[in-house]
Amino acid sequence: MAKITYREALNQAMCQEMERDERVFLMGEEVAEYNGAYKVSQGMLDKFGPRRVIDTPITELGFAGLGVGAAMAGLRPVIEFMTWNFAILAADQIVNAAAKMKYMTGGQYDCPMVFRGAGGAAARVSSQHSQAFENWYANIPGLKVVMPSNPADAKGLLAASIRDNDTVIFIENEMNYGDIGEVPEGDYIIPLGKADIKRVGKDITLIAHSRMTGYALLAADELAKQGIDAEVIDPRTIRPLDEATILTSVAKTNRAVVIEEGWRFAGIGAEISARIMEKGFDDLDAPVARVTGKDVPMPYAANLENYALPSVAEIVEAARVVCNRA
Amino acid sequence: MTTKNQEENQAGITQEGRFYSAERLHAMHDMMLYIRRFEEKAGQMYGLKKIGGFCHLCNGQEAVCVGMEEASEPADYMMTSYRDHGHIIARGSDPTAIMAELLGRAGGVVGGKGGSMHMFDKEKNFAGGNGIVGEQVPIGTGFAFASKYNDDKRVSITIMGDGGVNQGAVYESFNMAALWKLPVVFVIENNQYAMGTSLSRASAETHLYKRGISFKVPGIQVDGMDVLEVERKMAEALEHARLGKGPMIVEMMTYRYRGHSMSDPATYRTRDEVDEWRSGRDPIVRLQKQMIEAGLATEADFKQKDKDIKKEVVAVAKAAEAQPEPDLSALWDDIITDEIPNAYPYPRQVG
Ligand SMILES: Cc1ncc(C[n+]2csc(CCOP(=O)(O)OP(=O)(O)O)c2C)c(N)n1
Ligand SMILES: [Mg+2]
């Protein structure tokens, strides 16, 4: 295994799938000649040429819809949004077209495509550029929502998403692009819909996705020092959710904290904690706690931004409360 | 074309039949130079990591900022993209508050919440500072709608880039504005690039002033490196809108000297190309030459002025840096106007 970055892992997945399947192409703003705003598509124009790696005008609704049509016509588009903040402009094509095309056409048309790009909070870019939208898309039947938290998962999950026959919302995290990790070489696929136990523990289950998985692991280290042995689970696929892995863990630990960067109201944590309550109620020794972003648009000032985001300390504190150790 | 004007015994320059007094020319020059030095300072502060996130400078585009402001009325509305420092400075907002915003300080124009991309000043009728490409175009059309509704003769100056002009909502706005004869001037700052994408790689019709043809929105192209031409053409467009003749498109041909944002090395363009604009067409040097030729100033005057402005900018940066960060309680301010206290999510609370 080689040590590579999260962005290189995503690049490998796209290259691997484009080599395998002639129908796959990459389209988005600055993906070709600039090698990607965040350099995820580095070298892909050179490798695959302008027929398959295509720079667009700044016209998100247009090229998202173009992707939908191309998918319906038999291609396998990978549509990059520079960030998911800009995908809001394309929401109609994603939600009204891609997500329900198969259903509305009685199964005549498929929409096998990936919408991908950076999501979540970046650093100091204020309210319009620092937002988590996974709960929006996870609410929509017809979509799959995938979020990798480390380089290996980034490669395996993106490759699987491109091979998948449905529309996949693939949300990367800008703050993770430079993270380095061991990534299997060659063809590598991680099946969608499978959570991963990132740390085994017996006292409490921490459930976190994307960048928050790293935070949960740091919190687990801190909790270990305080005598609390935390298990960390990364759902990896948000929709559909591998609740069996979560429920099995909670049956063992009897306690859980769900962590997400996004807003609490109607967030991913709301769904996961509701499922634990519905299906694992008898296993619980304490109410499930949530650690989330504060209920505010993201501010620019460094101190306010820091305060708005979830922190490792908040996760530790929540876990202590759930373990009756606060 | 540039002549010393002796009429009314007033020193100045007449260009294309329009007279500019020495006083006014100095003011325009000083403002352009101020913006240039302010941006350089901002770039420096970014390098020192005192400014974070995305920071888009407008070096090279100062004539657009200043010429437009000169032509407009204070009551006219103005809004633009994230490349907003120059415009809000030209509008007359407090430079210390602008720098404080860049630094994320309590005394920033929006209290440190927005940073570089989100400068707003309602008192100056400056409505952003919009981070989503093209977003301000329908919003600017809405301000124009309100002007027409209130019949108060205010024009909405709605600015976008050569990349932003490809967003669909721009054309929806053109159509509505023309259909309802709204007083809006759509300004396209054509600085030739949208991030790393040159105009011709993103637009089939590169004459952007023609983009309104099928909506019956007239358009003109302006040398955006000539502050006097910007002022003159913008004055025409504003008059057109103010007289109730509907919207107009003004394409400003300009160039950004720096990368797209502070993190862009701008390797997609040649040094020669940048030099051609920078040393051949610089708007500040151009006006200085015109003023010297007309006997309105000397090179030494401009050198002294530059020194003074640099000092002013240093003082502004110092004053801004001395300000405290926002109080943590500000996190919860300005989210909802009519807070409902007993319903979840509860205002000003975690969880
Ligand atoms: C809807 C949307 N898509 C993409 C971006 C990312 N982005 C920021 S600026 C920019 C280029 C805009 O270029 P242009 O309109 O020419 O303005 P300039 O930066 O040259 O002033 C892009 C693609 C964004 N902010 N919003
Ligand atoms: Mg541009």
Cβ neighbours of residue B321 under 8 Å, at least 6 residues apart? B50, B103, B105
The answer to whether the beta carbons of residues A147 and A236 sit under 8 Å apart is yes
Gap from B262 CA to chain A (nearest CA, Å): 13
Amino acid at A296: V
**Count of domains forming chain A:** 2
Q: What is the pLDDT of residues A8-44, one digit of tens each?
A: 999 999 999 999 999 999 999 999 999 999 999 999 9
Considering the domain boundaries, does residue A304 fall inside one? Answer: yes
CB-hemisphere CA count at 13 Å for B131? 21
Transcribe B139-194 into DSSP letters: HHHHHHHHHHHHT----EEEEEETTGGGSHHHHHHHHHHHHTT--EEEEEEE-SEE
Are residue A176 and residue A213 in the same domain, yes or no?
no
Q: List the catalytic residue out of A17, A60, A261, A271.
A: A60
Query: In percent, how much of chain A has pLDDT > 90?
Result: 99
Quote the pLDDT of residue B3: 52
Quote the pLDDT of residue B1: 43
Which residues of A lie closer than 8 Å to B, measured between beta carbons? 29-30, 33-34, 37, 55-62, 85-86, 88-89, 122-129, 264-265, 290, 292, 294-297, 299-304, 307-308
Question: In chain B, what residues touch A293 (CB-CB under 8 Å)?
Answer: none
Are residue A179 and residue A200 in the same domain, yes or no?
no
* Cα–Cα nearest to B62, from B268, B195, B258: B258
Quote the pLDDT of residue B349: 87
Choosing from A154, A183, A212, the residue where a domain stops is: A183
Cβ of B52 within 8 Å of Cβ of A122? The answer is: no
Quote the pLDDT of residue B8: 59
Taking the C-alpha atoms of residue B318 and residue A316, their distance in angstroms, rounded to an integer, is 39
Is residue B61 over pLDDT 80? yes
- Give the CATH number, domain containing residue A80: 3.40.50.970
Q: Residue A271 catalytic? A: no
Over residues A192-199, mean pLDDT: 98
Q: List the catalytic residue out of A8, A17, A29, A129.
A: A129
Residue B351: pLDDT band (50, 70, 90) is confident
Over residues A103-127, mean pLDDT: 98
Quote the pLDDT of residue B271: 95
Q: What is the pLDDT of residues A160-172, one digit of tens each?
A: 999 999 999 999 9
Quote the pLDDT of residue A326: 86
Are residue A73 and residue A139 in the same domain, yes or no?
yes
B115 touches A: beta carbon within 8 Å: yes
Q: What is the pLDDT of residues A296-317, one digit of tens each?
A: 999 999 999 999 999 999 999 9
Instruction: Work out how many CB contacts closer than 8 A connect A with B.
Output: 133
Q: Which residues form the domain of A165?
A: 2-183
Residue B322: pLDDT band (50, 70, 90) is very high
Considering the domain boundaries, does residue A191 fall inside one? Answer: no
Q: What is the pLDDT of residues A208-220, one digit of tens each?
A: 999 999 999 999 9
- What domains appear along chain B, each with residue ranges and CATH number? 3-323 (3.40.50.970)
Residue A99: exposed, middle, or buried by beta-carbon count in 10 A (0-12, 13-18, 19+)?
Answer: buried
Atom of ligand 1 nearest to the CA of B165: 15
Taking the C-alpha atoms of residue B187 and residue A60, their distance in angstroms, rounded to an integer, is 22
Mean predicted lDDT score pLDDT of chain A? 98
Is residue B5 over pLDDT 60? no
Question: In chain A, what residues touch B167 (CB-CB under 8 Å)?
Answer: 58-60, 89
Considering the domain boundaries, does residue A117 fall inside one? Answer: yes
Is residue A103 over pLDDT 80? yes
Residue B2: pLDDT band (50, 70, 90) is very low
Strand (E) or helix (H) holding B40: helix B22-47
* A306 Cα: distance to centroid of ligand 2 (angstroms): 32
* B334 Cα: distance to centroid of ligand 1 (angstroms): 27
Pull the structure tokens for residue A20: 């395998």
Considering the domain boundaries, does residue A298 fall inside one? Answer: yes
Mutate to test the interface with B, among A30, A93, A126, A315 (most CBs of B within 10 A): A126
Are residue A95 and residue A15 in the same domain, yes or no?
yes
Atom of ligand 1 nearest to the CA of B54: 8
Is residue A231 over pLDDT 50? yes
Mean predicted lDDT score pLDDT of chain B? 96
Gap from B293 CA to chain A (nearest CA, Å): 43
Are residue A220 and residue A293 in the same domain, yes or no?
yes
Over residues B66-73, mean pLDDT: 98
Over residues B234-241, mean pLDDT: 98
Are residue A313 and residue A204 in the same domain, yes or no?
yes
Q: What is the pLDDT of residues B261-316, one digit of tens each?
A: 999 999 999 999 999 999 999 999 999 999 999 999 999 999 999 999 999 999 99
Q: Give the global pTM.
A: 0.97
Q: What is the pLDDT of residues B171-190, one digit of tens each?
A: 999 999 999 999 999 999 99
CB atoms within 10 A of CB B346: 13
Are residue A138 and residue A67 in the same domain, yes or no?
yes
Give the number of whichever ligand sits closest to the CA of residue B196.
Answer: 1
Are residue A155 and residue A14 in the same domain, yes or no?
yes
Are residue A266 and residue A300 in the same domain, yes or no?
yes
